[in-house]
Structure 1
Amino acid sequence: MTLADRFPLLYAPARWEWGGLGVQFSTDLPPDELVTNIHVVCFVGDRIVLCRDTRDIWILPGGTREAHESIESCVIRELAEEAGAELAGPLHPFGAHYATTDHPTPYRPWQPHPPKAWLWCTADVTLTGEPTNPDDAEHILEVRTFPLPEARHHAATDAPHLPDLLTLATHLHPR
């Protein structure tokens, strides 16, 4: 059985209307220059970190890469902003949503356009404090860790493919 057979919702071509994007998940990693966003399935032991925002949606920490920012620098910044967390080990990229936008211009001037990729990673983290919640980002109200079944349930508030993504990440994360 292939991963696409095991996780059909994750691997199905999809439309993300909020960004005018056609997307397709793959475990083939994108070239660095195509990565515009990085999100991390964070582990504290065998529990998964989720962040509840002002919309009452549980999200995975991560976000938009700044100009000239490395993937790891973006992750370090986003973990502090959204989860009050720090890396406690290496970052492990495991897949990406490859996307093509139908917007006429890139979201940020330095981003590739129209193709781009959202990189998905796993990492062990330490929760070190409160999220920094900068003004130009999501405002996080709560950070919690959950066992996989509860994390799957809460992550579904953000997107229907995320429960499968969490299961795959848990399977692929080095222990």
Structure 2
Amino acid sequence: MTDTTDRTDTSARAAELAVLFPALHAPQYWAWGRYDAQFSTELPPDELVTNIHLVGFADGDVVLCRDDRDHWFLPGGTREQDESVTDCLERELREEAGARLLGEPGWLGAHRCHTEDAVPYRPWQPHPDKAWLWGWGEVVLDSTPTNPADGEQVVEVRAVPVDEAQRLLLTGHDAWWGELIELAAELRRRAGLG
């Protein structure tokens, strides 16, 4: 009975969030990577996760990074070969935001992606299907970005209120980015932290 109840609760929650955040849940095409993408609050199998990103909250504000092209983004990135989700998230937070995760992240869901490209982005990645995992968590900004040579060159890290984070991310991004921030803030409130 509990397993059936849990599945029913999970399905009801997923349906509720899909109604609240329709742009995030709508089918998408990411031209930069030639991916068909679909967001779901159902978490993908670990072996499909190639990218991990975090809506990090520092004292209630959302942590954003700005690169040398004047592009705002959430910290996160590509998982290295044999790297765990947690190790990737911790590394990317250090590299791009100079941040440290305080406690376990909460998972928002993932974009499941499919490409018609002949080869994967990196040889060890699953192909042609993969997943971008999105999370939220409490962070502290306690150093500067390490800016590895093969990554984005971050020139500014800023913790801003939710509405400003949405505004900054919507410049040059699709509408679903604003809803992703809103979803993170909502789940944070439901966890009693907002």
Q: Quickly name the TM-score band, shorter chain normalised.
A: over 0.9
Within the candidate set 127, 141, 148, 2:155 is matched to: 141
Q: Which of 88, 94, 98 is matched with 1:74 structurally? A: 88
1:54-109 alpha-carbon deviations (Å, 9 max, x no partner): 12111000000000000000001000000001111211112100000111001001
Unaligned runs of 5+ in 1: none
> Following the alignment from structure 1 to structure 2, what is the Cα–Cα distance between the partners of residues 63 and 127?
18
User: Is 1:150 the counterpart of 2:164 in the alignment?
Assistant: yes
**Aligned-partner SS, 1:18:** coil
Q: 2:132 aligns with which of 111, 118, 132?
A: 118
SS at match of 1:118: strand
C-alpha RMSD of matched pairs (Å): 1.1
CA–CA distance in structure 2, aligned partners of residues 92 and 5 of structure 1? 20
1:24-54 CA-to-partner distances (Å, cap 9, x unmatched) read 0000000100000000000012100000111
The residue that corresponds to 2:179 in the other structure is 164
From the superposition, tell whether residues 89 and 41 of structure 1 become closer, same or farther in structure 2 (CA, over 3 Å).
Answer: same
Cα deviation 1:116-170 (Å, max 9, x = unaligned): 0000011111101110000000010100001111010011125221110000011
Q: Distance in 1 between matches of 2:44 and 2:115?
A: 16
2:76 corresponds to which residue?
62
State whether residues 99 and 116 of structure 1, in contact with CA within 8 Å, keep that contact through their aligned partners in structure 2. yes
* Greater C-alpha Rg: 2
Separation of aligned partners in 1, 2:122 and 2:134: 20
Q: C-alpha displacement at 1:5, in angstroms?
A: 2.2
Q: Hey, what does 1:92 align to over in structure 2?
A: 106
2:10 alignment partner in structure 1? none
Is 1:129 aligned to 2:135, yes or no? Answer: no
Counterpart position of 1:105: 119
Aligned residue for 1:38? 52
- Which moved further from structure 2: 87-96 or 16-25? 87-96
| Higher percent of residues as helix | 2
In structure 1, the residue corresponding to 2:140 is in which secondary structure? Answer: strand
Residues in 1 aligned to 2:178 and 2:34: alpha-carbon distance in whole angstroms:
23
